[in-house]
Amino acid sequence: MTELAAYACRPGQSRGRRHPEPAPGNRNAFQRDRDRIIHAGAFRRLEYKTQVFINHEGDLFRTRLTHSLEVAQIARVLARSLGLNEDLTEAIALAHDLGHTPFGHAGQDELNACMREFAPDAGGFEHNLQSLRVVDELEERYALFNGLNLCFETREGILKHCSLAHAKLLGEVGERFIARTQPSLEAQLANLADEIAYNNHDIDDGLRSGLLTVEQMQAVPIFARHYAEVLQAWPDIAQRRAVSETIRRMINTLITDVTVTTAALLARAAPVDADAARRSGPLVAFSGAIRQEADDLKKFLFENLYRHFKVMRMTNKARRIVRELFSAFIHEPRLLPPDYRRGDDQVQARAIADYIAGMTDRYAIREHHRLFQMGDHL
Ligand code: MG
């Protein structure tokens, strides 16, 4: 590892774990966090959860697992070139989607709607909070504590957003939302790496699926610019290969831009340590021009891919499955596996949300069959 900058997080200076543990022997505290995340059951389930496309629609599309690996790869490159802590940013990147429901955003939106309707005082459902809940409470792998007992810095990075009402209930990881400070630079960086990863792989998957066309993508300046460069260098290149070259170049442009812009912001703010960086306002950023291009791309994807009628049909089915599962369980908790039954209504609603959020796409589809189709009881 290259030398850490003054403002990098250092495992020896961690604010520690909720349940004190002796320091690990052959790795540092952030490496231990990363390893615990990789061994978690919720991490393995990311393989069968999706972002845009439902899991069984094609073997080449990204899943949340491959997405998380791409985010970690981009975040590590950025961390290394900025003198930030590569292990911490990797741990945050690998854990950032652990709380995602089946069926991507459609699943989370519907679960939130169900929680608000059936348990209005329970606080809804939010995937960032759920990711934290997975690593703090839901994983059952250790004799001495629930969850993975991760370091403060990793937990801080996982909790990207949070309402003020929730923040007040969350102890030290909630404090920054009340004090309006930033998370560590490593957390800021994992967050931007997430955006770089999904924007680019959604173009790739969108084109591969045929829901988007290269002609349509000409309306997106960042794509058009890089695509033209590729065609100029290789006029006879096959389209599939030209698209890959274009995406590769776009990722490179974005990573280079973040590195240069962030290095300049850091040089100007000159935080003396990691805590000073947290108080300095956002320091990991795109330049103004690239920020604009990235926003235009997002807007294009929203209108043309996430709102494509074929994706909307998928989303609509996904929402119905989540709603019907939730409604069946809340009206008759004895339909739930015994582990998820609770006496109290509020607590019961939360346990149902945990159960559904933990499902993979195909498990949710099967569970729906088991509940609603005759002749399919087990
Ligand atoms: Mg993500």
Query: 323, exposed or middle or buried, with CB in 10 Å at 0-12, 13-18, 19+?
Result: middle
Taking residues 129-155, what's their average pLDDT? 96
How far does residue 94's CA lie from ligand 1's centre (Å)? Answer: 9
Neighbours of ion ligand 1 (CB under 5 A): 97, 194
Taking residues 282-309, what's their average pLDDT? 95
For 324-343, how does the pLDDT look when each residue is reduced to its tens digit (9 = 90+)?
999 999 999 999 999 999 98
What's the pLDDT at 162? 87
How far does residue 320's CA lie from ligand 1's centre (Å)? Answer: 23
Residue, of 331 and 1, whose pLDDT is higher: 331
Beta bridge partners of 151: 17
Q: Which pTM does this prediction carry?
A: 0.95
Domain architecture of the chain: domains with CATH: 28-311 (1.10.3210.10)
How far does residue 17's CA lie from ligand 1's centre (Å)? Answer: 24
The answer on pLDDT for 58 being more than 80 is no
Q: What's the chain's Rg over C-alpha atoms?
A: 22
Residue, of 319 and 61, whose pLDDT is higher: 319
Assess contact for 182 and 48: CB atoms under 8 A.
no
Q: For 14-18, 82-86, 371-375, which range has the lowest pLDDT when averaged over its residues?
A: 371-375
How far does residue 223's CA lie from ligand 1's centre (Å)? Answer: 21
Q: For 45-49, 173-177, 341-345, which range has the lowest pLDDT when averaged over its residues?
A: 341-345
Taking residues 13-39, what's their average pLDDT? 96
How far does residue 218's CA lie from ligand 1's centre (Å)? Answer: 26
How far does residue 131's CA lie from ligand 1's centre (Å)? Answer: 11
Q: Where does the pLDDT of residue 54 fall: very low under 50, low under 70, confident under 90, or very high at 90 and above?
A: low
Q: Average model confidence (pLDDT) for the chain?
A: 93
How far does residue 15's CA lie from ligand 1's centre (Å)? Answer: 25
* Distance (Å, whole) CA 175 – CA 181: 9
How far does residue 273's CA lie from ligand 1's centre (Å)? Answer: 28
Assess contact for 196 and 254: CB atoms under 8 A.
yes
How far does residue 255's CA lie from ligand 1's centre (Å)? Answer: 17
Measure the CA angle with vertex 66, ends 115 and 293; round to 5°: 85
Nearest Cα neighbor of 89 from 157, 141, 16 is 157
pLDDT above 70 as % of the chain: 97
Q: For 45-54, 66-75, 230-239, 284-293, which range has the lowest pLDDT when averaged over its residues?
A: 45-54
The answer on pLDDT for 55 being more than 60 is no
Q: Would you put residue 210 in left (φ > 0), alpha (ψ -120 to 50) or beta?
A: left
How far does residue 67's CA lie from ligand 1's centre (Å)? Answer: 7
| Dihedral, CA of residue 221, residue 226, residue 227 and residue 232, to nearest 10 | 130
